[in-house]
Amino acid sequence: MPIKVGVVGYGTIGARIADAVMKQPDMELIGIAKTTPDYKAKTAVSRGIKIFIPENSIESWKKAGIKVDGVVEDLVREADVIVDATPKGVGKANSEIYKKEGRIAIFQGGEKKDLVEATVVAQVNYNEARGKRMIRVPSCNTTALSRISWFLEREYGVERIIATIARRAADPADKKEGIIDNIEFDPIKPPSHHGEDVRTVLKNLNIFTTAIKIPTTHAHLHLINAKLRKKASREEIIDALSEERRIMLVSSEDGITTTADVFELSRHLGRPMNNIYENVIWIESIHSDGEWVYLAQAVHQEAIVVPENIDAIRAVASTLDAESSMNTTDRTLGIVKGRI
Ligand code: NAD
What pLDDT does 123 receive? Answer: 97
264 is catalytic: no
Q: Which residues of 146-174 are buried (b: 16+ CB within 10 A; e: fewer)?
A: bbbbbbbbebbebeebbbbbbbbbbeeee
Report how far ligand 1's centroid is from the alpha carbon of 230 (Å).
41
Ligand 1 pocket check for 109: Cβ under 6 Å: yes
Set 13, 27, 140, 249: catalytic member: 140
Confidence of residue 141 (pLDDT cuts 50, 70, 90): very high
Confidence of residue 113 (pLDDT cuts 50, 70, 90): very high
Ligand 1 pocket check for 13: Cβ under 6 Å: yes
Average pLDDT over residues 181-203: 97
What CA–CA distance (Å, rounded) separates 153 from 170? 31
User: Of ligand 1's atoms, which has the minimum distance to the CA of residue 88?
Assistant: 32
Percent of the chain having pLDDT more than 70?
100
* pLDDT tens digit sequence for 38-47: 999 999 999 9
Residue 290 pLDDT more than 90?
Answer: no
Q: Which amino acid is at 106?
A: I
Burial class (CB in 10 A: 0-12, 13-18, 19+), 294: middle
* pLDDT tens digit sequence for 151-187: 999 999 999 999 999 999 999 999 888 899 999 999 9
Report how far ligand 1's centroid is from the alpha carbon of 172 (Å).
14
* pLDDT tens digit sequence for 228-262: 999 999 999 999 999 999 999 999 999 999 999 99
Ligand 1 pocket check for 90: Cβ under 6 Å: yes
The pTM is what?
A: 0.98
Mutate to test the pocket of ligand 1, among 12, 51, 84 (most ligand atoms within 8 A of CB): 12
Reply yes or no: is the peptide bond before residue 187 cis, omega within 30 of 0. Answer: yes
What mean pLDDT is reported for the chain?
A: 97
Ligand 1 pocket check for 6: Cβ under 6 Å: no
* pLDDT tens digit sequence for 218-228: 999 999 999 99
User: Of ligand 1's atoms, which has the minimum distance to the CA of residue 40?
Assistant: 9
What pLDDT does 129 receive? Answer: 98
